[in-house]
Chains A and B, each alone.
Chain A
């Protein structure tokens, strides 16, 4: 079965610390996409990043960076110099083929608490 595992249920760090959220996936497909979404306390889900299975370059966007390693089936998310506003639940998701369509398989999420 294809699935996405976010083993860290909750992480708590002090502001300005770096923190890494882990995401491990399983798939038999050769073409797939990985996503990260953020769910702040207000409840909405916000798209952060998309990465395709053929592009293993790391991506950096400000304080956010993503490390995709196909060899270990991982797509980890690092926040550098964390801030209180980063407090949220973060979801990793895998898009893969289902019949003639694609579906998103979601991880259970990691709750990140940034303490001032």
Chain B
């Protein structure tokens, strides 16, 4: 059972380049999330998708776009990468977002460096 998968695991970009981080889950979850993790700051929500066909901004959405391609897949795009976007990116999923008790399941993360 794969759970949540992310690609790529590592990426180096030059300032101004674009890229898309891919995420897929096989647990039939309704809700999916993108976080970034920076040292000493815990996890910060970039965007989320409460259900297929919907997306909403989280705490730090600037510089990012997302697409909920179908129930399984949720991608994160950096249109013009900046050094401030150097971070570890995690995708997560949960059964839904309207029930507070559901835990989130995380992918292995993508380590992105922007030079």
Contact = CB atoms under 8 A, between A and B. Distances in A.
B86 to A, nearest CB: 16
Interface of B is mostly: loop
A6 B9 CA distance: 28
Contact of A101 (B92, B97, B103, B104): B97
A44 B90 CA distance: 9
A108 B104 contact: no
B41 A108 contact: yes
B42 A95 contact: no
B101 interface: yes
Contact of A50 (B45, B101, B106): B101
B103 A50 contact: yes
Interface of A: 9, 31-33, 35, 43-47, 50, 52, 91, 95-97, 100-104, 106-109
Interface of B: 40-45, 50, 58, 88, 90, 92, 97-101, 103-109
Given A45-B106, A50-B101, A101-B97, 17 more contacts: A9-B40, A33-B100, A44-B106, A44-B107, A45-B90, A45-B92, A50-B103, A52-B100, A97-B100, A102-B97, A102-B98, A102-B100, A104-B43, A104-B104, A106-B44, A108-B40, A108-B42
